[in-house]
Amino acid sequence: MPYHRAIVGAPHLQLGFRHLPLAAQVNFLFHDLLSRRLGETCLRGYHNSRRRWRSGRRLLGGGAEPKGGSPVSKQYDVVVIGGGPGGYVAAIRATQLGKRAAVVERDALGGVCLNWGCIPSKALLKSAEVYSLFRRSSEFGLSTQGLAFDFPAIIRRSRNVASRLNKGVEYLMKKNRIDVVQGTGRLNGRTVQVVDAEGKAADELLASDVILATGARPRSLPGLTIDRQRLMTSYEALALDTPPGSLIIMGGGPIGVEFAYFYSSFGTQVTVVEMLDYLLPQSDVEVAVVLEKSLARAGVTILTSTRVESAQASSSGVEVQLSTPGGPQTLQAELALVAVGVMPNVENLGLAEAGVRLDAKGFIATDEHCRTSVPHIYAIGDVSGPPLLAHAASAEGMAVAEVIAGQDSRVNYDTIASCAYCQPQVASIGLTERQAREQGHEVKVGRFPLRASGKALASGDSEGLVKIVADAKYGEILGAHIVGPDATELIAELGLAMTNELAVPDLARTVHSHPTLAEAIKEAAEDALGRAIHI
């Protein structure tokens, strides 16, 4: 049959024909080009248009799959399972390097960090900071009357901030022409099978390389049942209708201390229970002590070296049994927050069938390039274990995309800072003083208290210090620790210095603007060199 008649009788060829350039259509119709090559060109036009339509439907959330359609394999260079801060960054970097990428996400782009973690919690903490500052208005020569807070409005603002940024990530996917497939991804050889919320097969994606970025979720303690009403996780703590009268927080890490600051700012009687010797046990003990004293002055009860043995929820509240250095103790509160770490999302990924190994703690085992035991499968972010930080996941996503593109990229975990955004803020990078000494370094420490900072005093926020841990012989910066206002911003200068192997004298020689909080870094460096000026 002549091809022009075949086109008339074949809807899929008609669609392909319409997507040919006008000149090609004219050439076809008026010169009787009946070659198989042009017919195949029309067919390719059809498949290309269908692929664009399907991609647009997923990205824009509109339209429906043609009736009778079944999942059709689509070819990608990189398929990322998980659209959090590691996953979506990996996909964008891969497209920048010329790769065709897709992201499979079962919930909302941005992951826990953007939607139920880092971002909404920081919005809540800002409300607490502003409210606390207004309560101190007399210190600044101001008076306020009828000061009050609207807690539902505080929560709404937090959710709105997260929603806005989620839409921003959606835009980035469109801008970079990354297909976003809604559903749960599962490994199956060289393909990723996608299942929708109802458990039905939705898509099948052929992938040259796969990046697992499925994140983690809050874990509980042995014997504790989290009912998400009386015994809750950080997810529920982000969206309560009203501040509870009393709250027990199990865990004194960043999540625990941030919620302690937030709820105590709005009148909740908060008790923090930490199993180790001090809050933020991965930070330097000096900065932890400053934080503990500050929270205690704000009315927070802190129980360190204390273990949670059990907890029972009832209609009236929560009862928690503890083992303390002084013996057994029982606490009662309206609510309890379990913030004792996370467990990786490794279920239903087909890892065992694919040959992907886990480590002793259940995280996906990876090498220095984030490659798993299967050469074409990578794992980044919380699903592959510590440091369990969003910015570390993003760094890993960038590195893995570059490895897939043939580059020798890897992440330097020694220069990744960890932060707590309570007041005062805490930020740490590198080794603590104790760790440096335990590793055999001859240590020199430089300190600068913020009470000697002109900018801190003028701002009415002079609690805290900058501490630099250095090698005594070579001046190498081994670690840095800051507690005080804007600590989470100031730590970046130390990260830059350590990444580029600058030494303490380089910090001391750098002229800092005056008056600034950043001057405290220069002053601490001067102190480490034995030539402090302002202390």
Q: Which residues are catalytic?
A: 514
Instruction: Kindly calculate the radius of gyration of the chain based on its CA atoms and give it in whole angstroms.
Output: 28
Contact 424, 297 (CB under 8 A): no
205 backbone dihedrals φ, ψ, rounded to 5°:
-115, 120
How open is the CA angle 523-525-526, to the nearest 5 degrees? 65
Stated as kind and residue range, the H or E segment containing 121 is: helix 118-135
Alpha-carbon gap, residue 416 to 396, rounded angstroms: 11
In sequence order, what are the beta bridge partners of 191?
188, 206
Show the tokens assigned to 490.
Answer: 């100031």
Contact 520, 453 (CB under 8 A): yes
- Of 252, 260, 372, nearest in space to 304 by CA: 252
Measured CA to CA in angstroms, residue 119 lies from 88, 115, 126, 265, 491 at distances of: 16, 7, 11, 19, 19
Contact 438, 412 (CB under 8 A): no
34 backbone dihedrals φ, ψ, rounded to 5°:
-105, 20
